[in-house]
Structure 1
Amino acid sequence: MSKYDLYSAEERYQSGSGGLVLANKLGIIDEQEMESLESGLLMMLYEQLFLTDPLSVPLAFEQIRDWHRQWLGNVYGWAGRLRHANLTKDGFHFAAADRIPQLITGYDRQYLSRTGTLKSLSRSEFVRYLAESHVEFILIHPFREGNGRLSRLLCDMLSVQAGWSLLDYSLWDKHKDYYFKAIQAGVSGNYKPMMQLVNDILPD
C-alpha cells in the first residue's frame, strides 16, 4: 500500500454511515456501535499494559505506535501509521501531516527520553512535564483517529512510571471548553492552563 492509498483510506467514510464512521474492516456504520467497540478495545489494551509492571525504562514513540496498532489494528487498516491527512477541530489546525516525522523526533528527545527518570521529579516538576508532554502530543496529533484517548493512556503510563496512579479525567470531560483552550494556549508555549488541569487530577 502506497502512502497515497493510505491517504485515501484515511479520508474515506464507511458507506451507509452518513459520513459519521470512518471506513473500517468490520463494515460498521453506526457511530455509537463504533464508539462502544473502540472503548472496549481500549480497555483491553489498558488491562494488557497495566496488569503487568508498567515500563520502567524510557519510552519511545515506536511503542506508542504499537499501542495504537494493538488498539485499532483490527478495525482500521491505517492503525499504527502516521497520518497523511491534515486535521482540524473547530477551525483549529493540528500539525501539518508532512511535519509529523520531524516533530516526533523532537518529542522523543524532549519528553519520552526522560521517562526513565520521572520518579526523581518533584510533584510540581512532574505536573509541568506531564502538561507540556500532553499538549505537545495533542498538537502533533500523529494518528488519523484516537489521538485524545491515546494521549490519556500515555499520561497514565507516565503517571504510573513516576510513582503516581492512573488518572481520573472526568474533570477534563466536564470542562471540555477550558481543556481545548489549554491545548490551544500551548501553541505559543503557554502551558499554565494545562498545568492547572493536570494539577487538579494528579493525586496529592
Structure 2
Amino acid sequence: MSRYRANEQDEFQSGSRGRVLKNLLGITSVRAIQRIEYEALERSRKAYFNKIELTTVFTTDLITEMHRDWLGEIYPFAGTFRIVDVIAPAQGGVPEFRFSHAGYIPSNMATFSTEVLGRITPCRATGTSELSDMLAEAHAEFIAIHPFREGNGRVGRWITQLMALQAGFPPPDHGFSDRNGPQLRREYYRAMSVALNRKDYKLLTSHFQQALDRGERSYRA
C-alpha cells in the first residue's frame, strides 16, 4: 500500500479501488497487504541482523538487496528504483514534499552511498549522542531520495537499526506501537519535514536519541 501521490494511475491492483499497488499475490485488501508486508519485513530484519558485520560498509547495492529480500515475493518492482515521481501530501500541519525526481535517483543514490554512507559506515559511534546524529543524517538523506516505489520509510528505519547494532547499541525503538504511538508518529513526521525542507536535523536527532533510549530500556527489560 502507498500513502503517497504518484504520477501514474495504472499501477494499482485491479479491484483494490486504487488503494493497493499491483502485486504478485493478487491482493486487493489494504489490511491483507499490510499484514504480509509486516511479516516479510520481520523475517528479513532478523536475517540481516545476523548478516551485517562490524566491517560492513553500507552501499546502494546493499540497500537494494534489502528491499528485494523483503518485498521480492510481493511486488514486481522489489529491489529496483521507482520510475514514477511521488509526492508526500501536506497533512497535519506538515507541508507537501516532493521527493527526488525519478530520473535523478541513480545519481542521487550514488552520491548518498559515497558521501554519507561511505563516511559513517561501518558505524563506529562511541555514544548515543554521536549515534543519533549519524542516524538522523542517514535517515533524512535516504528519505529525501525515496528511491523505491514502496517501503522507503521502513527501509530507512531498518538501515538505522542495522547501523545501531553495528556500533554495539540496541536498535532504536520509535515507539509507534506504544500507547502514545500516534503522537510519537506525528512528532516523527514533523521532525522529518523539518529535516527534508530545511536540512535541519536537530528535531530528528532528538527523535533518534529518544528512540535509542527507548530501545535501550526495551533491551534491558
Q: Is the structural similarity TM-score above 0.5?
A: yes
Aligned position for 2:133: 128
d(CA) in 2 for partners of 1:150, 1:179: 15
Q: 1:163 is matched with which residue?
A: 168
- 1:188 matched residue in structure 2: 198
Aligned residues: 196
Which one of 88, 97, 100 corresponds to residue 102 of structure 2?
97
CA contact (8 A) 1:16 1:29 kept: yes
What's 1:45 paired with?
Answer: 44
1:198 alignment partner in structure 2: 208
- Give the residue type in structure 2 aligned to 1:201: A
Deviation at 1:11, TM superposition (A): 4.9
Aligned to 2:27: 28
Contact 2:121/2:163 (CA < 8 Å) preserved in 1?
no
Deviation for aligned residue 1:78: 0.8
The structure-2 alpha-carbon separation of the partners of 1:133 and 1:72, relative to structure 1 and needing over 3 Å to count, comes to same
User: Which SS does the other structure have where 1:174 is aligned?
Assistant: helix
Post-superposition CA distance 1:154-203 (Å, at most 9, x none): 11000001110122121575322322221221232210010110111113
Aligned to 2:112: 107
**Aligned counterpart in structure 1 of residue 184 of structure 2, from 156, 175, 178:** 175
Report the secondary structure of 1:193's partner residue: helix
Match of 1:55 in 2: 53
- Larger proportion of helix: 1
Cα shift readout 1:42-74 (whole Å, capped 9, x = no counterpart): 011012112x25322211111110010111111
Deviation at 1:37, TM superposition (A): 0.3
Q: 1:114 to 1:65 in 2, by over 3 A?
A: same
Q: TM-score by structure 2 length?
A: 0.82
Preserved contact between residue 115 and residue 161 of structure 1 (Cα < 8 Å): no
Q: Distance in 2 between matches of 1:53 and 1:38?
A: 21
Under a length normalisation based on structure 1, what TM-score does the superposition of the two structures give?
Answer: 0.88
Q: 1:17 to 1:119 in 2, by over 3 A?
A: same
Output the aligned Cα RMSD. Answer: 2.0
Deviation at 1:136, TM superposition (A): 0.9
Instruction: Determine what percentage of the aligned residue pairs are the same residue.
Output: 31
Are 2:16 and 2:29, in contact at CA under 8 Å, matched by a contact in 1? Answer: yes
- Unmatched 5+ stretches in structure 2: 1-6, 90-95, 217-221
Q: Do the aligned residues in 1 keep the contact of 2:125 with 2:131 (CA within 8 Å)?
A: no
Q: Which amino acid aligns with 1:65?
A: T
Secondary structure (helix, strand or coil) at the match of 1:70 reads: helix
Contact 1:167 1:202 in 2 (8 A): yes
Q: Is the 8 A contact 2:99 2:146 kept in 1?
A: yes
Gaps of 5+ in 1: 1-6
